Amino acid sequence: MSMYLATFMQSFTDQIKKAYGGIHRNIWILAAATFINRCGSMVLLFMSVYLTKELHLSLGKTGFVMSMFGVGSFVGAMIGGRLVDKIGFYPILIWSLFLCGFSILVLGQMQDYTLIALLCFLMNATGDAFRPANSASISFYSSKENYTKSIALIRLAMNLGFTIGPVLGGLLASVSYQFVFWTDGLTCIGAAIFLFFVLPATHKKKSVAEKQEADAVSNPDVSHVELSPYKNKHYLIFLVSTTLYATAFFQIFSSMPLFFRGEYHMQESQIGLLMACNGIGVAVIEMFLISFIQNKWTQFNFISLGTFLLAISFLILIPWHAMSILILSIVFLTFSEMFAMPFMSTYAITTAPKKFIGQYMALYSVSWSVAQTVAPLLGTALISLGGFNYLWIGLILLTLFPFLGFQWLHRNTEKARL
């Protein structure tokens, strides 16, 4: 018995080394900061319930306020991408987290509808400047072979935090929503302080470009077409497809909490526990999944599979009404995320030429920002028009378009390699 146990433990240890080996120390630091920040990420998750339950706003006003997160995200990503190309990623990482945390603290004190919408905009405008800077830092600290693993590690930290955040947020919201805002804001500022003291400063403006140039020398088979992202047809189709996928996926933050509360009469703590299933699934499975499937199929085939699973997660909500179906829907949505998102990020990073790294990463972030803007407006509009089944059918039809887009990219990128 002990021999079998020893063999199992050795095999398990080998799998962990395979999954986590070769990742740069600074990627681990970024992952730790991400974990600190995500442990407090709960305002966005509970905002739609807060606005309707505590402030008694209509669905239309709630949808508008939620869309301001997306507008702010769009502005922040564009400005952040430009600043990355001008001054480097390091100062953007620090200041975006700090200013975002401060905005959250102020947001929690607002009662006026207009000021709440403005603060939601500022919160994500400052916070999502972090995205292109984070992507550029992953490109700088990772080798070509470890891009996907590095991205998966960051996502692991994100989802470990997201496992804690919804549960803690649900418990805090059941006492007072003020605790939600204070926790989210202070953990964001705490992540900024952690990075400032632990992550080595990188002051070179061209640090990412120099890193990519070194990669090109050491890997002569790697070539970056020096195209602006606005002239790269494949990249633009990728961005549109990503935006449509994300629009459907982001219903997890806007429409699904309303569905859980309105149709299942769940309390905030129960919603938090259910949503935590997503974070737990990604945290436990994704790194091992990526290690196992990487290089076994093309990036766009994995992304297409993730898009298909997202449609299934909505489809099963139409004919059945049970807690087990809700859990199964979250499971499908979680596997959709694990198959699609790491390879989306890898494609965006590896496609970007050194000259335009900030702009490529900014546009990739913008695709998610646009989705974050559209998702709550689309979701609340469809619910008001025909109820939740109307929403699920609309989302299933929506996912068809990114599925076809990713399959087109799969065929054309494969042709380009031949």
**Which of 139-143, 238-242, 259-263 has the largest mean confidence?**
238-242
Strands of 123-172, DSSP E: none
User: What pLDDT is recorded for position 369?
Assistant: 79
- Main-chain dihedrals φ then ψ at residue 43, nearest 5 degrees: -60, -50
Query: Cβ(342)–Cβ(151) under 8 Å?
Result: yes
Domain presence at residue 6: no
Query: Cβ(274)–Cβ(395) under 8 Å?
Result: no
- Residue 23, pLDDT above cutoff 60: yes
Domain presence at residue 4: no
Please name which of 26, 64, 275 lies closest in space to residue 173, comparing C-alpha atoms: 275
3-state SS assignment for residue 352? coil
- Say which residue, 284 or 390, is predicted with more confidence: 390
Percent of the chain with pLDDT over 90: 28
Enclosing domain of residue 206: 22-417
Res. 128 pLDDT band, cuts 50 70 90: confident
Concatenated DSSP letters for 214-232? HHHHH-TT-------GGG-
Residue with tokens 């401060």: 102
- Say which residue, 46 or 327, is predicted with more confidence: 327
Domain presence at residue 11: no
Mean pLDDT, to the nearest integer, of 122-133? Answer: 87
Q: What angle do CA 327, 332, 333 make, to 5 degrees?
A: 95
Domain presence at residue 356: yes
Res. 216 pLDDT band, cuts 50 70 90: very low
Domain presence at residue 123: yes
- 387 vs 155: CA distance, rounded Å: 33
12, containing H or E segment: helix 2-20
pLDDT tens digit string along 283-320? Answer: 778 777 877 777 777 889 999 999 999 999 999 999 88
What radius of gyration do the chain's Cα atoms show? Answer: 21
Please name which of 158, 50, 43 lies closest in space to residue 104, comparing C-alpha atoms: 43
Res. 210 pLDDT band, cuts 50 70 90: low
The whole-model pTM stands at 0.72
Task: Name the burial class of residue 293, with classes exposed (0-12), middle (13-18) and buried (19+) by CB atoms within 10 angstroms of its CB.
Answer: middle
Please name which of 390, 408, 279, 264 lies closest in space to residue 333, comparing C-alpha atoms: 279
Count of domains forming the chain: 1
pLDDT tens digit string along 396-406? Answer: 999 999 999 99
3-state SS assignment for residue 46? helix
Domain presence at residue 2: no
Percent helix / strand / coil, the chain, rounded to 5:
85, 0, 15
Please name which of 161, 136, 158 lies closest in space to residue 147, comparing C-alpha atoms: 136
User: What pLDDT is recorded for position 9?
Assistant: 56
Residue type, 171: L
- Residue 80, pLDDT above cutoff 70: yes
CA dihedral 265, 121, 124, 251 (to 10 degrees): 30
User: What pLDDT is recorded for position 10?
Assistant: 61
Query: Cβ(357)–Cβ(208) under 8 Å?
Result: yes
pLDDT tens digit string along 170-206? Answer: 888 888 888 989 998 999 999 999 999 999 877 555 4
Domain presence at residue 15: no
User: What pLDDT is recorded for position 222?
Assistant: 41
Query: Cβ(150)–Cβ(24) under 8 Å?
Result: yes
- Supply the DSSP symbol for 144: G
Mean pLDDT, to the nearest integer, of 355-376? Answer: 82
Mean pLDDT, to the nearest integer, of 229-246? Answer: 93
Residue type, 266: M
Q: Which two tokens stand for residue 406?
A: 């990713």
pLDDT tens digit string along 250-265? Answer: 998 778 888 888 888 8
Least confident range from 205-219, 244-258, 333-347: namely: 205-219
Least confident range from 147-156, 210-219, 254-263, 359-368: namely: 210-219
Domain presence at residue 1: no
List the CATH number of the domain containing 271.
1.20.1250.20
- 255 vs 270: CA distance, rounded Å: 16
* Distance (Å) of CA 79 to CA 44, 96, 316: 22, 11, 40
- 282 vs 175: CA distance, rounded Å: 28
- Say which residue, 17 or 380, is predicted with more confidence: 380
Query: Cβ(417)–Cβ(299) under 8 Å?
Result: no
- Residue 213, pLDDT above cutoff 80: no
Mean pLDDT, to the nearest integer, of 339-348? Answer: 90
- Residue 142, pLDDT above cutoff 90: no
